[in-house]
Structures are given as C-alpha cells and as structure tokens.
Amino acid sequence: MGLRRKRRRPRSSTATDITSLVRATAEVLNAANAVQPLGREGYVTIPVFFLGWPTGEAAPVIAGASVLDALRRGIRGDFSSRSGRAALALTAASWGLLGYVYYRNKKSQPSFEEPLREALGDDYAAVAKEERRRRPGGVLRTSWARRAYVKKTDVVRYGPHRVNVADIWHRADLPRDGKAPVLLQVPGGAWAIGMRRPQAYPLMSHLAERGWICVSMAYRISPRNSWPAHIVDVKRALAWVRENIADYGGDPESISITGGSAGGHLCALAALTPNEPQWQPGFEDVDTSVVCAVPIYGRYDWFTGEGSGRPEFLSILQKFIVKKPFAGNRQLYLDASPITRVRADAPPFYVLHGEDDSIIPVREGREFVEALKAVSNNPVVYSEIPHAQHAFDFFGSPHGDYTAQAVGRFLDWVRAKRT
C-alpha cells in the first residue's frame, strides 16, 4: 500500500508573515518620507534624504516595481493569511502615497514660472522665446543623453591637476563660428565627491539641443584637498572656457554658470567674486566674470552656528573641507560665504530651492536671496519649490523637466536683454 502524498501548504508561515509585514511597513514609511521628510534635525537628515529623494522624484518607477513584486509574492501565496493581507493593505497604501507624490510634483510648474514672471516682467516668456527661435528646438531628459552631445574629443583638460577635466556638451551640427551661449555646470557632492556625471543631465540636454554649449566640470575634492582648492578650480575652468570655447563654436563673452548643492555654493561664489586674485593663482589676469548665475539648493553661509543642521555643518567644514578651526580663522569662512559677497554689480541671479530640503534647509536660500536683492542692481529671481527635496532636478522627473525649462527661459531672457 503506497504512502499518501501530503498536500503542499501555501506559503503562510509565521516567518513569511513577519517578513511581509516588515517589508510593507518599510515601504509605507519610505513613501511617507517622500511625502514629507520624517526628520529635519541632526545627522538623521542624511538617511532621510537618501531614502526620500529617489522615491519622491521617481515615484512611478518605485511604485511600478513594488506592484510587480507584490504580484510575484501574491502568486507565491505570501498574502494568503490574515497577516499577509494586512501587509498587502500597507503596500497598497504606499502606492497611494507615491501616486499622490507624483501628482503633486506634476502640479508644481507654477512655482518655477511665476517667480520669473514677477521678477522679469509679463513679457519674459515672449522675450526668451524670441531668443530661442534662433536655435532649433527639442528636449532630451534621459540619463543616456550625454552620448548624444559629448564625443571623445569633447572631454578636455582645463587645468594641471588630474581631476581638472570637463565634458563639452553641444550639438554635432553646431557651427564652429556660431558664437553659441555657454553654461558652466559645477557639480555638487558636499565638496567631497564632485562627480560631473550624471549631474544636471536634464538641463544640459535641454540647452544643448537648443543650441547652447554646456561645460560640465569636475574639481579637486576634500578631504584630500582643502579649501580653497574647489573654488580655484571653478575659476580655472571659467578661465579655460574664456580662452578656448570659441574653438567649439561658443561665445567667450556669453558665459553663464550653474550648480547644485556644493556646486550651488561654488556657482554663487564664483559669480560674486569675479577676477578675485587670491583664487586665481597663476591666471590673475584672465576675466572670470559671468553674465548670470543659477545656483540650485546651495549653501550660502559658512559661518552661522545656530539653526537646523548648522552645528553639524560647521563641524564637517572644520574637520574635512577647510581643515582649520573656525576660531582664529573666521575671515576665511566669511570670505567663502556667498551671502557676505553680495554686491551692487552682481550679475542676474536665478536661485532655486526645495521647500522640504532636508540637507540644506530652505532658509538658506531665502536669506541669500533677501541679502542679494537688497543690494543688486540686476534681477534676482527666486523659485521655492513646494515639497521638493534636495537634488530635485537630478532625474528626468517633473521637477527635473520644469527646472530645465525654467532655467532655459531665464538664460534666454538674459541673453536676449544683453544682445
């Protein structure tokens, strides 16, 4: 008499149920963190950012992957028990939160456009459009955009150090004598990463397709290098662009600058300190001025010790970036702060910052703009993006798309007014 084969039980063990509940709880907390950062004080802001940033900007991708995984686990039987069904309900709640995040991001375009209209006039879009009409249209936003605009011969060395390299973004059919406007892109990374790839791809592909030349640079980073090596390299890159960009069809008299995070700090500082001898060793006579600046979620204050995240930030500066104590070297920190370098003859500025930035609180952007507006004779535009995290323009998301469009219009407006 043969043995009766036991029926295979569905996967509904206690261990599987616990795993499903923990996973679902993590998913819903991650989605909630994308809706609004779960921490705003101290070092906890770092994991809050690194979890909430890609989730918030790539919400449809995250939700889609979660749905497919839930289908796989459902077929396997992970949701057959009461605990499993509770886990599925939590997972579905995370999809709802992610859907809300994406909807909210899609509705944020007025936050980019209205400040431009208020600062530059109701006809700013028409002026920018007229300037753009001279160049072909089209927008590319994906992460592979670089290969469409940067060839092997477009990777150049702009200075004596190994990391002094840059990518020259431009259309293959751009006339070499066309005098195209130029944008220098300064990467972020807490002055300790400085990777030029793949930062600002939505913006640079948008501009390159419309006839701009974008120079995406790398620079010396900490802790291997101490301040002011970073700003010296930015100045050196500006000097190289001034002296060489005509060979690529660029206009050396029409150089703008942008950057995010640490790059936003360096961008603003470079724009406010043209031809500063102490930061141009060996090339003091080269003009490093720019026609306008677009710092995005930057640091503008290196000296204030009070406020959200300020003590931690000053500690990092003293230990890893400047590597000199604030006590006894206060002037060095003041000189490195764009908010102390505001001036009447500052070029036009377009400053962008996310309202929910957990790395650099939005107060820094507000205070810098207020100080610059108080003295500058040129337009100062400020876009504060509701619910946006740090690095909101990194992906080809709605925020990345709107940033590229708004910055492009601002740059075109400045160029049109100059010409």
Distance of CA 172 to the CA centre of its chain: 26
CATH topology of domain 109-418: Rossmann fold (3.40.50)
- Looking at every residue in the chain, the average pLDDT score rounds to 89
The active-site residue, picked from 301, 357, 393, 412, is 357
- At residue 146, the pLDDT reads 83
- Indicate the range of 51-65, 174-188, 402-416 predicted with least confidence: 51-65
Nearest alpha carbon to residue 55 among 353, 358, 318: 358
Q: E strands, 98-235, where?
A: 155-157, 165-169, 180-186, 213-217
Q: Residue 4: pLDDT above 80?
A: no
Q: pLDDT band at 130, cuts 50/70/90?
A: low
Q: How far apart are CA 191 and CA 320, in angstroms?
A: 9
Q: Say whether 261 is catalytic.
A: yes
- At residue 396, the pLDDT reads 81
- At residue 12, the pLDDT reads 46
Mean pLDDT of 207-213: 94
The active-site residue, picked from 111, 261, 358, 376, is 261
Residue 215 and residue 169 in contact, taking contact as beta carbons nearer than 8 Å: yes
- At residue 129, the pLDDT reads 65
How many other β-carbons are positioned within 10 Å of the β-carbon of residue 59? 25
Q: pLDDT band at 11, cuts 50/70/90?
A: very low
Q: How far apart are CA 66 and CA 382, in angstroms?
A: 36
Nearest alpha carbon to residue 264 among 354, 155, 396: 354
- Across 315-347, b (16+ Cβ under 10 Å) vs e yields ebbbebbbeeebeeeeeebebbbbbbbbeeebb
How many other β-carbons are positioned within 10 Å of the β-carbon of residue 37? 23
Residues counted in the chain: 419
- At residue 236, the pLDDT reads 98
Q: How far apart are CA 248 and CA 176, in angstroms?
A: 6
The ranges assigned to domains in the chain are: 14-106, 109-418
Kindly tell me the burial class for residue 163, based on how many C-beta atoms sit within 10 Å of its own C-beta (0-12, 13-18, 19 or more).
middle
Residue 407 and residue 258 in contact, taking contact as beta carbons nearer than 8 Å: yes
**pLDDT, tens digit, for every residue of 293-342?**
999 999 999 999 988 889 999 999 999 999 999 999 999 999 999 999 99
Kindly tell me the burial class for residue 226, based on how many C-beta atoms sit within 10 Å of its own C-beta (0-12, 13-18, 19 or more).
middle
Mean pLDDT of 2-29: 69
- At residue 242, the pLDDT reads 98
% of the chain at pLDDT higher than 90: 58
- At residue 2, the pLDDT reads 45
Q: Say whether 265 is catalytic.
A: no
Q: Residue 136: pLDDT above 50?
A: no
**pLDDT, tens digit, for every residue of 141-184?**
445 778 889 999 999 999 999 999 999 999 999 988 889 999 99
SS3 for 211?
coil
Mean pLDDT of 388-404: 90
- At residue 205, the pLDDT reads 92
Nearest alpha carbon to residue 28 among 102, 99, 100, 97: 97
Q: Residue 25: pLDDT above 80?
A: yes
Which of the pair, 14 or 187, is modelled with greater confidence? 187
- At residue 8, the pLDDT reads 47
Q: E strands, 65-195, where?
A: 155-157, 165-169, 180-186
**pLDDT, tens digit, for every residue of 236-275?**
999 999 999 999 999 999 999 999 999 999 999 999 999 9
- At residue 133, the pLDDT reads 46
Contacts of 5 (CB under 8 A, 6+ apart): none
Cis before residue 228, ω within 30 degrees of 0? yes
Q: Say whether 390 is catalytic.
A: yes
The active-site residue, picked from 170, 230, 353, 390, is 390
